[in-house]
Amino acid sequence: MRSASLPMASDVKAWASHPVGPGFLSACTAVAAAAHFMLATGASGFGPPHPMVALAGLAIAADLHRGAATSQTRAAMADWLLAALALLCCVLPFRVAAAPALVCAAALAWRLRGLQGRAAAVMLMALGGWALKDGVWADLASSPVLWAEAHVTSALLGLGGVSAEVAGNRITLADGHAFIVLRACSVLSLAYPCAVGTYALCRLLRPAQAPGWGRVALALAVLVLLNSARLVAMVASPAIYDVLHSDTGTLPLQLAWAGIILLAAGPRWRRA
C-alpha cells in the first residue's frame, strides 16, 4: 500500500513543472486589479463584496482553474505584455484603473481558448464595466433608458385610469404630485448585476455547458416586468414610495434579485 504522502509529493512536482500559462497570469492580474480597486476606493472598499462580484469571482476562479488544467500552452510574449500592462494599471492611484487591468485579465483568459477561457473572459470584462459604474459615461448612457421607463410607467398608469404627464424622466400626476425616475430606482440599478449573476451561476451549476444566454435574457425580462410594477406602485402611492426608500426597502429588492437569478439559472432545461 502506498503512503498518503506520495500523491501529495507527485502533485507538488507536477505543479512545479507545469508551464506558466495565460490562465495563471489572468488569475494573478484579476487578483491584482481587485486589490487595486479596494485600495483606491478607501476603507469602504473592504466591506462585504457585492453578491454579483462574489458569484462572478467564484465562477472565474473555477473556469480559470479548469481551463489551465486542460491547457498546456506556455505563456507567450503577448501574454506577458498583457500581464505587465495590467500591473502597470494597478500602479495608477485611480479607481478607474482597475477596469483596464480587468480587461487585460480578460484578454489573457480568452487566449486560453475553449469554453472555460471564453466564459472567464466575459465575466472579467463584466467586472471591468462594474468598476466604471459610477462614471460620467454611465449617467449619459442611462438617459434614454430613464426616458423610456418614465413613458412606460405613464402609459401603465393611464391603463389604470390615472392620468399623468411626462417630460423627460419626470412624471407629473393630475394632483401635482411629481416623480422623477432616477438611476437608483430604474431597472439599470439591477440589470447589470442580474445579468452577470445569472451568467456566473450558470457557469457554477453547469460548467460543461455553454453559457446560458437565454437564461440571462429571461432574467432581464422578468426584472423589467417587476421593476415596471415597482415604478407604477411608487408613483401611484406615496406610502409605497416611502416604504421602498426606507432602510428596510432594500430587502425586497435583494430578495427579488436573488429570486430572479435562481429562477433563471437554477432549473435544468432540456435545451440550456
Q: Kindly list the domain boundaries of the chain, sorted by start residue.
A: 18-130, 136-265
Count other C-beta atoms under 10 Å from residue 45's C-beta: 15
Strand partners, 167: 170
**200: helix, strand or coil:** helix
- Give just the sign of the alpha carbon dihedral 30, 36, 39, 42: negative
The CA–CA distances, whole Å, from 112 to 35, 66, 154, 201, 219 equal 23, 10, 49, 21, 29
Sheet holding 178-180, edge to edge: 164-167, 170-173, 178-180
Look at 248 and 235; give whichever has higher pLDDT: 235
Report residue 160's pLDDT band, with 50, 70 and 90 as the boundaries: confident
User: What value does the mean pLDDT of the chain take?
Assistant: 79
Quick: pLDDT tens for 70-104.
666 677 788 888 888 888 888 887 777 888 888 88
pLDDT at 197 over 50: yes
